[in-house]
A = this chain, B = another copy of it.
Amino acid sequence: MKIKNKLTIHYDQKPIYDILLENDFSKLKDALIALGYEKRKLLIVTETNVAPLYLEEIKTLLTPIFREIVCFTFQAGEQQKQLSTVSAIYTTLIEHQFDRKDVLLALGGGVTGDLTGFTASTYLRGVDFVQVPTSLLAQVDSSIGGKTGVDFDSYKNMVGAFYQPSLVYINTGTLKTLPEHEFNSGLGEVIKHGLIKDKEYFSWISKHREEIARREPDVLKDMIYRSCEIKGDVVERDPKEKGERALLNFGHTLGHSIEKLMNFSMLHGDCVVIGSELASLISWKRGLISKEELEQIEELFQYFHFDTLPATLDYKEIVSATKLDKKMDQGQIKFILLHPIGNAKIDKTVTQEEMLWALESYKRLENL
């Protein structure tokens, strides 16, 4: 693959926003000037893990172009992705008299992006926001496609909006500081992109697994670019998840149930990996992928040491919890299966028995 630095996401054939890929933050200022943001007010939303690493750098960099920069730092963690945090951001915006032309910037991982995007979509019925994702998961997944939202009670992303950022600025340099566990969690999504859309990419990831694990910058950039491209293509064709976009939910049906039953103590990416393994098992059981393909998938996931299914969970409870998933369609659970690797399809016929079988089989596969 060839290194590229820019991707443009379209809607109805019109360009909506750019994704810029850089090794540092140096081009962020010019990108914001190009959007016409000079002399506006900026609210940077970030969290306690990311703020010490990048907040001062970004503030210093952007001070010359904005009329005022305000920062909102929340306690890191999925627990804060809720309406009370959104309300606290509204209060900050009102106190600083932000108007419709002022701008929000999300500096952090997926939680920060989802929270900031939802706040931007609803403050004064919508103000601009910029995504500066600092985790691999946010860079290849959540910052692209305009899904914003918060959890409600224990229901994940129950409240939200489809709302596009005006820019996604990816500094791959931030991956250097990412804890291994979180880095690998992002890789779960990367592997998913290969599985659902591009067998060749899946093979490329398998082949470069060591360089990826060592976080070699050029390989990472290639990888992020291709993942952004796949995700971008899907959301362009189906911005509001009426069809194809649902394929990105590969691994999510059972993954979300596990995440929820574990009270979000596990990383989203790890849960999706378990869900992906389970969906791969069901795909194999149905004869849609070969035993060899199933083993390739398992092997790659195992290489990156993803968390495995917690032994404490009750399989029946996991299956029951899928019924509360928002991807339901008139009472039917939408499952994504591989037909084969590189070509996922939506399937509404997966039974509770098949899910239970996969959960039971999963344990054995752990000892492959």
Contacts and interface: CB of A to CB of B under 8 A. Distances in A.
A115 to B, nearest CB: 13
Contacts of A160: 122, 124-125
Interface in A6-57: 39-40
Contact of A123 (B124, B153, B158, B240): B158
Interface residues of A, number: 38
A330 interface: yes
Interface string A61-98: 00000000000000000000001000100110010010
Interface in A102-137: 118, 121-126
Interface string A140-167: 0000000111001101011111100000
Given A91-B153, A94-B152, A152-B94, A158 B124 contact: yes
A326 interface: yes
A285 interface: no
Nearest to A122: B159
Identical copies in the complex? 2
A97 B125 CA distance: 27
A91 B154 CA distance: 11
Contact of A329 (B101, B121, B123, B149): B101
Contact of A99 (B118, B147, B155, B326): B326
A328 interface: yes
A316 interface: no
Contacts of A155: 94
A94 B125 contact: no
**Looking at A87, A125, A157, which has the most chain B CB atoms within 10 Å of its CB?**
A125
23 contacts: A39-B330, A83-B83, A87-B152, A90-B152, A90-B158, A90-B159, A94-B152, A94-B155, A94-B158, A94-B324, A97-B323, A97-B328, A99-B328, A99-B330, A100-B329, A101-B330, A122-B149, A123-B158, A125-B148, A125-B149, A125-B162, A126-B162, A126-B240
Interface of A: 39-40, 83, 87, 90-91, 94, 97, 99-101, 118, 121-126, 147-149, 152-153, 155, 157-162, 240, 323-324, 326, 328-331
The 6 closest A-B pairs by CB, nearest first: A125-B160, A99-B328, A124-B326, A122-B159, A90-B152, A125-B162
